[in-house]
Amino acid sequence: MSTKLTDLAELVASPDTGDFLTVVDVSDTSGGSAGTSKKVTYDNLVTVKSTKVTLTNLQVQALHTTPIVIKAAETGKTIIPVSAVAVATYGVATEGSSSNLYIGWDEASAGTTNYWAYARQWMNAVASGERTFFAGGQPDAGTTNNFDFSLVNKDFEVWSDTAFTGGWTMTIYFSYLTHKV
């Protein structure tokens, strides 16, 4: 690159995962005593990333049999959750179940004992407005926080233990890191 960094056009959007950034590798002095200029993809930086997933009422009612992927697995990486905010919006029909909402790695492996976070009796008896659930930090998985499976190459999902019966939708805002293993 023969153009000075300060003379380049500014990227006005967030970088895509494959975009390159310039770094100076100070441990490699082959390019000079101050270090060597190199490229790194945005995806390889340790940055908090976010995603948003919106569930219809049909998807909510099927969570006990059909988990929804919040963040798809990446080969050779584990998803490290930072926070999740679930906002449920009442539509019609009060929730009559006492179903629990679970968030974690791969429902098929996790079930109801190896989750990251859960909301007990989520939306039970809610008959209007919105209800918000926040999770962050250390997993709630049982009392030991040990998982009976590897977290590498696992989707991060939302599911329930039994069928929800009410008429409501839900949006999940999820922040995470990924780490190469």
Chain segment 76-95, per-residue pLDDT in tens: 989 999 999 999 999 999 99
Residues 26 and 95 in one domain: no
Q: Is the model more confident about 66 or about 146? A: 66
Q: What pLDDT score was predicted for residue 154?
A: 96
Residues 95 and 115 in one domain: yes
Residue 45: phi and psi, rounded to 5, are: -80, 150
- Mean pLDDT, the chain, rounded, equals 90
CATH number, domain of 152, equals: 2.60.120
pLDDT band at 46 (very low <50, low <70, confident <90, very high): low
Instruction: Give residue 90's domain range.
Output: 49-180
Residues 24 and 59 in one domain: no
> What would the mean pLDDT of 22-34 be, rounded to a whole number?
89
* Both structure tokens of 58: 């049909």
Q: What pLDDT score was predicted for residue 41?
A: 83
User: pTM, whole model, 2 decimals?
Assistant: 0.79
Residues 34 and 81 in one domain: no
Residue 110 is classified by DSSP as H
Q: Do 131 and 114 contact (CB within 8 A), yes or no?
A: no
Per the structure, the count of domains in the chain is: 2
Residue 5 φ/ψ region, left for φ over 0, alpha for ψ in the -120 to 50 degree band, beta for the rest: alpha
CA distance 43 to 147: 27
> What would the mean pLDDT of 133-154 be, rounded to a whole number?
81
* Secondary structure of residue 7 in the 3-state scheme: helix
User: Does residue 1 have a pLDDT over 90?
Assistant: no
Residues 37 and 15 in one domain: yes
